Amino acid sequence: MNKQEKVNFVINTLTEIYPEIPIPLDHKDPYTLLIAVLLSAQSTDVRVNKITPLLFAEADNPYDMIKLSIEEIRKIIKPVGLSPMKSKGIYGLSHILIDKHNGEVPKTYEDLEELPAVGHKTAAVVLSQAFGIPAFPVDTHIHRLLYRWNLTNGKNVVQTEKDAKRLFPEEIWNDLHLQIIWYGREYSQARGWNLEEDIITKTIGRKSVLDEYYKKHSKNK
């Protein structure tokens, strides 16, 4: 297969497996999504989805959030990890949203990335999932899979995002990045990976990745 045929194979396979695409983080509006994505850094969506109802019961908008202290926020979100940094970020960005954006979550990378604890990936998720603006957030699953599929050199997430945007049509970015995440979780994990169940990697995978997999598993037989 040439590169375009590989891209088409990825799109068609993922569309067949995931005709409907659930959003991993529970939220009800741009603000609650922003907070959930911020909390998900170095944590799991499952853990975040257990904690956000507790936090949002206390404050689900920036005006109520700043009525809490940083310490009160930290105590609620502690199970997701990095709570000192995340609680300061949530409190600080809530103030900025009120002071600079009339309490609304902004719709540009520039404004989002100015918020405390909000990086490029978090901004991209919010733009994509809250506002439907084409973006291609690259998490660990997407970074791993595009390397396995020989669609990027895998040097860093910045390069992976550039390659993804170059290879895939803009109109499907918002769905595709979620499809790849779900596929990575179900069929192409970092550990305990079964290539026989991973039809995309088995079909178009990078030769060195496939060779390493078969070498490792031949030893285990």
Catalytic residue among 111, 139, 162, 165: 139
Query: Is residue 99 exposed (0-12), middle (13-18) or buried (19+ Cβ within 10 Å)?
Result: exposed
**What is the token pair recorded at 49?**
């989805």
Selection from 66, 36, 81, 42 nearest residue 54 by Cα: 36
Sequence-distant (≥ 6) Cβ neighbours of residue 163 within 8 angstroms: 146, 151, 152, 153
Note the residue count of the chain.
Answer: 221
CA dist 88 → 49, 63, 78 (Å): 20, 15, 12
* d(C-alpha 132, C-alpha 54), whole Å: 27
Catalytic residue among 6, 60, 86, 121: 121
Greatest Cα pair distance, the chain, in angstroms, is: 62
DSSP-derived letter for residue 221 is -
Exposure string for 66-89, b = 16+ CB within 10 A, e = fewer: bebeeebbbebbeebebbeebbeb
Q: Is 139 a catalytic residue?
A: yes
* d(C-alpha 36, C-alpha 50), whole Å: 11
Q: Is 64 a catalytic residue?
A: no
The residues assigned a catalytic role are: 121, 139
